[in-house]
Amino acid sequence: MSSPATPRRRPIASFWQRVTEGMQIDDLGRQFVSEAKASYRLYAKDVDWDKVGKRRGAAWFWRSAWALFQAMLMKLSPARRVLLLIAVVLLLFQPDIHYGRQAEFSFSFAWLGVVILFVLLAVELADRVTMKRDLEIAREIQQWLVPDHAPQVPGIDIAFATRPQNTVAGDYYDAFLRTVAPASETNPPLMVAVADVAGKSVPAALLMATFQASLQALSNTPASLGKIVDGLDRYCREHSLEGRRFTTAFLAEINPQTREMDYVNAGHNDPILRHASGAIERLAVGGPPFGLPSLTDDPLVYSSARVQLQAGDLLFIFTDGLMEAVNGADEEYGEGRLLAQIQAMPAESSDATLQRIMADVNAFVGQARQHDDITALVLRITA
């Protein structure tokens, strides 16, 4: 006996499922509010609020609305600006043509305004789709520049994750065994790096790619960590657009045999080192971000420090997007919450620790829009 056929889903329900991607009404509402706030911030930063004034009231409301409309209008090309203005006039004033003395025939142009708005929406969506396709290609290229799995080093467990604010990111992470040992070492050390280029999206991603190439090139020589840092700073200063595109970074070299770690913190968020005893140490020794302008051509002086890692130690390196992640109430995730999470971490794999922290960030943020790239690297000494 054949089983009864599965009833076909109603077309409207199926269409609604595709449109909402299975999200509930409450989630859709929170997402819209978050996106509306982000859009407002985008347009509001182009408004001269001093001209709008501070006194509240109906006049202030209309001046604000007009200023925001102009800011939105200027984001379009000149031809699209004219079409949008025509559409707004047709919708607001709805001009009619009457034929005959007794209005035997009446024709309204309001529908034409709707058509123009729909055409503008279609054109803007086409641009967005084209740009998204190009950004997806850029994202694939960027993913080639960072490792998809950690190097296998006995006694050292590493995991990393990144979440761009847009399709591409200005954050960078890496962990690799140098092919050439520095002059002061007998075996190639493990290089660990996390960096954050100032800015977001494509400009930051392009500079991130050049930073990665410079680090790899310098690491393939017998240069010491100090020489690598000097070379990176010199390169970043040459391409920083007068200091507007600086880069914060944390670089460390770990001796796989002795577990000694030399590090330099170039203006980056201080990584958290939780010792096996439970004590917390912040790794802050270094100098300013790479690429800041200098009065001379000489490289800035960066200090380095050495830490002896022991079995059970946990090192957590992150970018500022993690601590500055905000929820719907505009509250930041914050350093205190992160430290509490690190302090309470059980003895588990680096990947499990990383997933636990990222899940806590997700739960805190909820449906709020992400404002910055988030990158984290976890390193555990297992033996």
Q: Are residues 370 and 275 in the same domain?
A: yes
The model carries a pTM of 0.70
Stretch 346-359: mean pLDDT: 92
Return all residues near 145 (Cβ < 8 A) that are at least 6 apart: 172, 208, 209, 212
Distance CA(52)–CA(61), nearest Å, equals 9
Q: Are residues 257 and 222 in the same domain?
A: yes
Stretch 192-211: mean pLDDT: 81
Stretch 247-273: mean pLDDT: 94
CB 67 within 8 A of CB 48: yes
Q: What radius of gyration, in Å, describes the C-alpha atoms of the chain?
A: 27
Q: CB neighbours (10 Å) of residue 118?
A: 11
SS (H, E, C) 363-375: HHHCCCCCCCCEE
Which of 307, 305, 302 has the alpha carbon at shortest distance from 231?
302
Of 139, 172, 199, the domain-final residue: 139
Decide if 1 is inside a domain: no
Q: How confident is the model at residue 6 (pLDDT cuts 50, 70, 90)?
A: very low
CB 232 within 8 A of CB 218: yes
- Counting DSSP H helices and E strands in the chain, the numbers are 11, 13
Stretch 272-300: mean pLDDT: 85
* Strands 286-287 vs 260-266: parallel, antiparallel or unpaired: parallel
Q: Are residues 123 and 201 in the same domain?
A: no
Q: Evaluate if residue 368 carries a pLDDT over 80.
A: no
Decide if 5 is inside a domain: no
Stretch 180-202: mean pLDDT: 82
Return all residues near 9 (Cβ < 8 A) that are at least 6 apart: none
Q: Are residues 199 and 121 in the same domain?
A: no
Decide if 2 is inside a domain: no
CB 137 within 8 A of CB 353: no
Q: Are residues 151 and 134 in the same domain?
A: no
H/E segment holding residue 249: strand 247-254
Return all residues near 163 (Cβ < 8 A) that are at least 6 apart: 321, 358, 370, 373, 374, 375
Distance CA(273)–CA(281), nearest Å, equals 5
Total count of domains within the chain: 2
User: Measuring CA to CA, how many Å separate 302 from each of 48, 292, 306?
Assistant: 41, 13, 14
Decide if 310 is inside a domain: yes
Decide if 271 is inside a domain: yes
Of 84, 105, 139, the domain-final residue: 139
Confidence (pLDDT) at 342:
92
Distance CA(295)–CA(293), nearest Å, equals 7
Q: Evaluate if residue 1 carries a pLDDT over 50.
A: no
Q: Are residues 113 and 157 in the same domain?
A: no
Residue 369: exposed, middle, or buried by beta-carbon count in 10 A (0-12, 13-18, 19+)?
A: middle
Q: Are residues 160 and 108 in the same domain?
A: no
Return all residues near 253 (Cβ < 8 A) that are at least 6 apart: 178, 182, 189, 190, 191, 192, 225, 261, 262, 263
Distance CA(314)–CA(77), nearest Å, equals 52
Confidence (pLDDT) at 298:
65
Structure tokens at 252: 């460390």
DSSP string spanning 266-330? EBPPPPEEE-TTS-EEE---EESPBT---SSSSPPP---EEEE--TT-EEEEE-HHHHT-B-TT-
Vertex 373: Cα angle to 370 and 374 (nearest 5): 95
Stretch 138-153: mean pLDDT: 77
Q: Are residues 241 and 286 in the same domain?
A: yes
Decide if 4 is inside a domain: no
Of 139, 166, 201, the domain-final residue: 139
Q: Are residues 174 and 299 in the same domain?
A: yes
Structure tokens at 41: 């911030």
Q: Are residues 130 and 154 in the same domain?
A: no
Q: How confident is the model at residue 207 (pLDDT cuts 50, 70, 90)?
A: confident
H/E segment holding residue 158: strand 156-163
Quick: pLDDT tens for 67-101.
898 988 998 899 999 999 998 888 888 766 666 56
Stretch 145-150: mean pLDDT: 80
Q: Are residues 339 and 361 in the same domain?
A: yes
Distance CA(289)–CA(66), nearest Å, equals 41
Q: Calculate the average pLDDT of the chain.
A: 84
Q: Are residues 112 and 184 in the same domain?
A: no
**Range of 211's domain?**
147-381
Decide if 160 is inside a domain: yes
Stretch 190-217: mean pLDDT: 84
Q: How confident is the model at residue 169 (pLDDT cuts 50, 70, 90)?
A: low
Decide if 6 is inside a domain: no
Amino acid at residue number 275: H
* Strands 305-308 vs 272-274: parallel, antiparallel or unpaired: unpaired
